[in-house]
Structure 1
Amino acid sequence: MLVATALGVLFGLGFFSGREGFALPDDFQGLGLVWAPDGEDLIVLGIGQGGVGVAELRSVGGRRYWRVSGFPLLAPSWRLAAFSPDGEVVALGATDGLHLIEASSGAEIARLPVEGEIAWLGYMEDGRLAVAVVQDETLYIELRDGIGDLVSREGISPCRLLPYHLTGKLFLSPDGRYLLYPGGERDQWIGFWIVNLLRRDTGDRLSWDLTEHLPWLKEAGYIEALALRPDGGEIAVALTLREPGRPDLFLLDAASGKVKGVRLPGDAESFSVNDLAYSPDGKRLAAVSAKWLCVIQGEKVQTSWDVPGILDIAFSPDGEHLAAITTDTVILFRLEP
């Protein structure tokens, strides 16, 4: 059973070195976050007592407006949340289906069953809710209307991995035209080495087999994170391993098919990138490892911070802030124009 609590507590870290943020309560282990469309609030996702999913609406200053708890989860990897374009509804995904929450109060509007397990969800520019579902080893994309009713269900590709293995690796562009998802056979690494980009308006599908560029990848590593530039023109790819003398991050040009490499902070002994995010205008790319966070513009690192333990990152709607979450803290980085 979901429990909603309205609160007004401020947990402050203060302002320091271009950052601001707030600490999370002791009964909350942070996992993910999502910006509200107005850039004033955040949905913070985590695990509460008893291992259930918890969602909180917070102001950027840390004030907690409400908490909803009781979402059943299969794995400690939860980023299934999205605001409707008008900011009035929050969609949350769990193992028992979709939950639509009133953003102003935290009250549950609807609980909707889903056939299969949810791997990703997000609202389109036209207000429809898109949900990626894995069922019977097949990846589907569902489109739902404003009240959550199913409009269409499209089979995309075979998928033999568990849905939470797709966390940070599957995206649908805001206009619904481009779907990014990984491919590859299940093996001892439980990994992927093929990048797929489907143009849903034409049905054209582009694929990049990264083992053609990195022969060792199929035996010793796999794709750790993917990100799709909002216009669908570029894909960022991070791998589980960093090999001496080789790029740490790859940028795939969707039009030409060319692959460019980017070197990141640290050396090959450093931790690999585990999350990626493009800014809304597509001009910046954020990359995070277990020890640092950096922002890339073009093919060069613009700035970086030594921050350990980041689990998820997200740009604000205006692109001026970058939010990051650890198990116990939310940090907001102010970015230079």
Structure 2
Amino acid sequence: MPHPQTSAQQVGLRLRLAAIAAFLILPVAAGGQSERITYPWIYSAEAWSLQTTASHKWLNDGAALVWEESAAGIRDGIRRLDPATGRLTPFLGFRDAVLAIAKEDRKAARGAVFPDAIDPTGRRLLYVLAGDLFLVEAEGPRALRITQTPVEEKSARFSPDGERLAFIRENDLWIYEIATGVERRITQDGSKTLLNGTLSWVYWEEIFGRQDLGYWWSDSSRSIAFLQTDESPVGIVNFLDHRTLYPTLLTQRYPKAGTDNPVVRVGIAHPQTDGTRIVWADFGDHTYEYIARVKWLPGGSKIAVSTLNRQQTRLDLFWVDAASGKAEHILTEENDGWVNIHDDLRFLPDGKGFLWASERTGYNHIYLYDMSGKLIRPVTSGDWSIRDSGAVFWLRQAIKAVDAKGEWVYFNALKKSSIEHQLYRAKLDGTAIEEISKEPGSHSISFRKAGDFYLDEFSNARTPPGLSLHRSDGKKLAEIASPRTQLAKSLDLVYPEFFEIPARDGFKMPAYIYKPKDFDPKKKYPLILYGYGGPSAPSVSNSWQGTDLLSDQILLRNGFLVACVDNRSATAKAKKFENTIVGQMYGDSELNDLVDGVRWLKEQPFVDAERVGIWGWSGGGTLTLLGMTNSQEFKAGIAVAAVTRWEYYDTIWGEAAVKRPQDNPEGYARTDLTAHAKNLHGRLLLVHGTYDDNVHIQNAWSFVDALIQANKRFELMIYPMRKHSIADRPARIHLFETMLDFWKRHL
């Protein structure tokens, strides 16, 4: 889905490794804010260290492994955490792991730094290098190359017992038996258009949140459920690769709004010594468009499967028998707008029932069911929503743990504030709710399986991320990775001020503003407004803002104010606010809130109302063009990777709110920004990557053509063969320096 791309978390491993490399060869900057914070520095290892903290993995024995993907992490390696004592002890050095791989393949070892996976027992690390798989035994360490083929192996994951490894080769699902070194081919019919255990682009992007989760091990490690995808009905998008003497075409299967989707079904594989038996889920007369989720029930005899209809207004949950494939219908969720997919299905022990999240009241809450699908009671209720604080906003998993003995469920929620993610617990009988986390800000919670300890990745707008160990009652036991507050302090940073802006109907929109260190309330400053605006995708958050925070320091230093306002559908406060955009995504609802927000800001005595700019990335680029073609509030704007016509975007995200073009032609016409290009007001910089496989560059070309037809002047910056994130370090530096130059010239 189109989404904001400016946070460090979304730049990805490619940029992280570039930053580490830069750290190893560049001197560390010194001095105050004016000397130190530059765009090259923002994309350096030192700056990266300010916005990251330790990663971790809970093991089957209840301990955790902790490491950091940074230059410092390379030095410290992986450490083992005993939650009972809070002690960290050395476990494995990354350099030792790489040296072990080098004994197997020196060339492959050059690309090895951090492992791609760690097995649940902690005995082995997995590296995927140049399309081949390597295991590193922690004891020793000793490396073993397990594949050496001319084709790519990918999406490898350990079984729960750590004894097997599943992976994808040429769109077939394979299993590797670690003890014997035997490979088993589970599926036999993979092809360019028939995918087994690996996802099509639209499922990878929209349903599984940019994770190739196309198969699921049973708890016993004996069976695997998987998706089989037929992409042959899906249309093809072409990209021109200029990097060869004769430019070549690269292709992508991409279902655009109103066109055919991939056809997906669920298989359950039972590998045996004499072959593999595959059972296909049988839903009887039930028809569906999308497989939304697959999860094994405790005991391994059934899987839970949820399906969506094409309109995404109905989600059905089934238990599917793993032996026969027969599906039993459990419950139905319906919504007049669309049903949000979530991972908040939690089973109680001994078959006593399950917990399920629903937005049926207009707010997201937890409900208790028996195993037949009969509703027992709501567990939480009120004018607030449970909400996760994950890396991407469309992955929803607010439930963090269930204490069946104490009859508590632990979850993240926006109960205290819509801009904070706090940890709470509620009694399963719905009689009590308690706040567990205390510090204002964002708490990303990970419980160990027993539910008695958790790790809290915490930050707020003034505190970089850190990791701490807690008991289930919230008592802090140990600081695992301290926030780098000294580095932040040395930068002399300016932090955002949070407040609310009333919309025309009184709705309170969350907002923030940055003011320069030497702010003079008697002066008038030009203001740059950042926005995203997508449904339940807030930009205003009391959490560490990473590269956004650092980039904004440069704007402040150059005399600009920086602000952001979340329109109501973006706040994630409630489904009922999200549904205000049904039929017109990035239409009248978002526009009215945007105009109300910017007009309120213009009324402030320190804002120069004649010098207000707007910018955004992806959906934020769309919001920028909406504001600049449907109002006269902005003197200048920058739209990066913007959707300009929803017909050009994918089925799942585009049709959720706007439905199919053939069913809602009026909505598509109203939100067609190319039709409004003739009304452009203010100076515009358009930015796009030619290999953007998310928001295709035809969006930019169509808008450019409409501007030319209307004889409208504009600026254009194209990044050859860059994807949606424009993620490599040189391109990022170039982009943000180009943006700064644009603001200086036009504001």
TM-score after normalising by structure 1: 0.59
Where does residue 226 of structure 2 map in the other structure? Answer: 181
1:213 aligns with 2:286: yes
Aligned mates of 1:157, 1:196 — CA distance in 2: 13
Aligned mates of 2:70, 2:307 — CA distance in 1: 31
How do residues 5-24 of structure 1 correspond to structure 2 at under 5 angstroms? none
Where does residue 28 of structure 1 map in the other structure? Answer: 52
Aligned mates of 1:58, 1:266 — CA distance in 2: 44
- CA 1:33/1:264 → structure 2, altered by over 3 Å: closer, same or farther? farther
Where does residue 64 of structure 2 map in the other structure? Answer: 41
3-state SS of paired residue (1:214): coil
How do residues 64-79 of structure 1 correspond to structure 2 at under 5 angstroms? none
Aligned mates of 1:79, 1:292 — CA distance in 2: 34
Aligned mates of 1:98, 1:323 — CA distance in 2: 37
Which stretches in structure 1 are left out of the alignment for 5+ residues?
4-24, 73-77
3-state SS of paired residue (2:230): coil
- CA 1:155/1:196 → structure 2, altered by over 3 Å: closer, same or farther? closer
3-state SS of paired residue (2:281): strand
1:97-144 per-residue CA deviation (whole Å, 9 max, x = no partner) reads 2343538xxx7442534354232422465x62x222222232212211
Report the AA paired with residue 183 of structure 1. Answer: Q
Where does residue 172 of structure 2 map in the other structure? Answer: 138
Aligned mates of 2:93, 2:356 — CA distance in 1: 30
Q: Is the 8 A contact 1:227 1:278 kept in 2?
A: no
How do residues 38-117 of structure 1 correspond to structure 2 at under 5 angstroms? 38-41=61-64, 58=81, 80-84=117-121, 89-95=123-129, 97-100=133-136, 102=138, 108-114=141-147, 115=149, 116-117=152-153
Where does residue 329 of structure 2 map in the other structure? Answer: 260
Q: Is the 8 A contact 1:58 1:65 kept in 2?
A: yes
Q: Is the 8 A contact 2:367 2:379 kept in 1?
A: yes
**1:205 Cα deviation from its structure 2 partner:** 2.4
Q: Is the 8 A contact 1:182 1:193 kept in 2?
A: yes
Report the AA paired with residue 155 of structure 2. Answer: A
Q: Is the 8 A contact 2:312 2:339 kept in 1?
A: no
Report the AA paired with residue 143 of structure 1. Answer: E
**1:181 Cα deviation from its structure 2 partner:** 0.6
Where does residue 151 of structure 1 map in the other structure? Answer: 182
Which stretches in structure 2 are left out of the alignment for 5+ residues?
1-16, 21-48, 99-108, 110-114, 205-210, 235-253, 256-260, 413-420, 422-441, 453-471, 473-747
Where does residue 231 of structure 1 map in the other structure? Answer: 299
- CA 1:101/1:235 → structure 2, altered by over 3 Å: closer, same or farther? same
Where does residue 6 of structure 1 map in the other structure? Answer: none
- CA 1:294/1:152 → structure 2, altered by over 3 Å: closer, same or farther? farther
Aligned mates of 2:308, 2:327 — CA distance in 1: 21
- CA 1:98/1:180 → structure 2, altered by over 3 Å: closer, same or farther? same
1:199 aligns with 2:303: no
3-state SS of paired residue (1:195): strand
Aligned mates of 1:28, 1:246 — CA distance in 2: 38
**1:331 Cα deviation from its structure 2 partner:** 3.6
Q: Which has the higher contact order (CA 8 A, sep 6+)?
A: 1
**1:306 Cα deviation from its structure 2 partner:** 1.0
Where does residue 447 of structure 2 map in the other structure? Answer: 332
Aligned mates of 1:280, 1:69 — CA distance in 2: 39
Q: Is the 8 A contact 1:194 1:209 kept in 2?
A: no
Q: Is the 8 A contact 1:89 1:101 kept in 2?
A: yes
3-state SS of paired residue (1:37): coil
Q: Is the 8 A contact 2:63 2:80 kept in 1?
A: no
Identity over aligned pairs, percent: 16
Report the AA paired with residue 28 of structure 1. Answer: T
Report the AA paired with residue 198 of structure 1. Answer: A
Q: Is the 8 A contact 1:172 1:178 kept in 2?
A: yes
Where does residue 122 of structure 1 map in the other structure? Answer: 158
1:255-292 per-residue CA deviation (whole Å, 9 max, x = no partner) reads 57133143569875453125767678776667789x96
Over the aligned positions, Cα root-mean-square deviation in angstroms equals: 5.3
Q: Is the 8 A contact 1:244 1:267 kept in 2?
A: no
Aligned mates of 1:207, 1:308 — CA distance in 2: 33
Where does residue 9 of structure 1 map in the other structure? Answer: none
- CA 1:245/1:151 → structure 2, altered by over 3 Å: closer, same or farther? closer
3-state SS of paired residue (1:306): coil
Where does residue 14 of structure 1 map in the other structure? Answer: none
More strand by percentage: 1
Aligned mates of 2:124, 2:368 — CA distance in 1: 30
Aligned pair count?
A: 288
Report the AA paired with residue 217 of structure 2. Answer: L
**1:29 Cα deviation from its structure 2 partner:** 7.4
Aligned mates of 1:55, 1:278 — CA distance in 2: 32
Q: Is the 8 A contact 1:229 1:282 kept in 2?
A: no
Q: Is the 8 A contact 1:248 1:264 kept in 2?
A: yes
Q: Is the 8 A contact 2:230 2:263 kept in 1?
A: yes
- CA 1:111/1:283 → structure 2, altered by over 3 Å: closer, same or farther? farther
Higher Rg of the two aligned structures: 2
- CA 1:33/1:163 → structure 2, altered by over 3 Å: closer, same or farther? farther
3-state SS of paired residue (2:187): strand
Moved more, 270-279 or 108-117: 270-279
Q: Is the 8 A contact 2:314 2:334 kept in 1?
A: no
3-state SS of paired residue (1:213): coil
